[in-house]
Amino acid sequence: MDSNTHRRRALKADPAAQLALLDLQELDSRADQLRHQRETLPELAEISTLTSTRTDLDGKRRDAQIAVDDLTAEQAKVDADVEQVKARRKRDQDRMDQGLIANPKDLERMQGELESLQRRITSLEDDELEVMARLEDAQQELDGLTGQVAETDDRLAALTATADGKTAELGAQLDETLTQRGPAVEAIPDDLLALYERLRSSKNGVAVGALRARECGGCRLSLDPSELASIRAAAPDEVIRHEECQRILVRTPESGL
């Protein structure tokens, strides 16, 4: 079966309905572009990256908080130990000062215990200083991470607000485009519209193109002379398909036939 026989049996549609396909294609392509823009906003990619960064920072912040809490508890324990030993030393010193221990051997033993308690206090105070230094470092790390989390939250809030604004704007444009689609569809017969929709789903959203300057507006390929001659001979109401890409070709005054 030659191409002319194939075309004589091809779909028929009023030339005005075929031209309406171009308007519909323009609206659908515009809608596809708006959806793509809405789904690929640069803010969305940055939000995704920052959200991951925030999760990592917040995990480190929680670990830092645990370290601060543990060191705070350790410092409290060392402080309590120091106070306890100091209280015991004071109690023994007061007994000696008040002359409550008269036995020389007991006094000698008590003096030895006071010296031992002082050494214990010194050791505990050294531990206390070491813990305080570690706690200060841990607190600085926690403060830094807390600040980074807060800065990230501020940036995320700003990006989200911007993305929401752009999404709303693109959504409004999409709604307007879809509203315009209704009248465009009404101008196209059901069988031609069904073919258009099938081709759109299999041709990356582009089902129809104008034939301009002997070129297919769908795939941008030039038509060979024999195909142009066949199209030139076709009836005005015959729906033409490009042999190369199989998209619908709509003849216009700029077709170059």
Q: How many CA atoms lie within 13 A of 5 on its CB side?
A: 2
- What's residue 89's pLDDT? 87
Distance CA 217, CA 215 (A): 6
Share of the chain above pLDDT 90, in %: 78
- pLDDT category at 2 given cuts 50, 70, 90 is very low
Strand partners, 208: 248
Q: How far is CA 20 from CA 191, 201, 210, in A?
A: 14, 19, 11
pLDDT at residue 9 greater than cutoff 60: no
- pLDDT category at 3 given cuts 50, 70, 90 is very low
pLDDT at residue 4 greater than cutoff 60: no
DSSP string, 164-206: HHHHHHHHHHHHHHHHHHHHHHHTS-HHHHHHHHHHHHHTTT-
- What's residue 102's pLDDT? 73
The C-alpha angle 135, 147, 156, rounded to 5 degrees, equals 150
pLDDT at residue 5 greater than cutoff 70: no
pLDDT at residue 31 greater than cutoff 80: yes
Mean pLDDT of 183-203: 95
Nearest Cα to Cα of residue 63 among 1, 144, 173: 144
Distance CA 228, CA 75 (A): 91
Distance CA 54, CA 60 (A): 10
Distance CA 180, CA 101 (A): 106
pLDDT at residue 7 greater than cutoff 70: no
Tens digits of residue pLDDT in 146-183? 999 999 999 999 999 999 999 999 999 999 999 999 99
Both tokens of 175, joined, read: 């709604």
Beta-carbon count within 10 A of 248 CB = 27
Mean pLDDT of 30-53: 97
What does the buried/exposed string (b/e) look like for 235-245 if buried means 16 or more CB atoms within 10 Å of the residue's CB? eeebbbbbbeb
Tens digits of residue pLDDT in 57-78? 999 999 999 999 999 999 999 9
Query: Pairing mode, if any, of strands 208-212 and 248-251?
Result: parallel
| Residue 204 Rama label (left phi>0; alpha psi -120 to 50; beta) | left
Tens digits of residue pLDDT in 83-137? 998 998 888 888 887 877 778 887 778 888 888 888 999 999 999 999 999 999 9
- What's residue 106's pLDDT? 77
**Extended beta strands in the chain, E state:** 208-212, 215-216, 240-241, 248-251
What does the mean pLDDT of the chain come to? 91
Q: Return the DSSP state at 12.
A: B
pTM above threshold 0.85 = no
pLDDT at residue 25 greater than cutoff 70: yes
**Element housing 107 (H / E):** helix 104-186
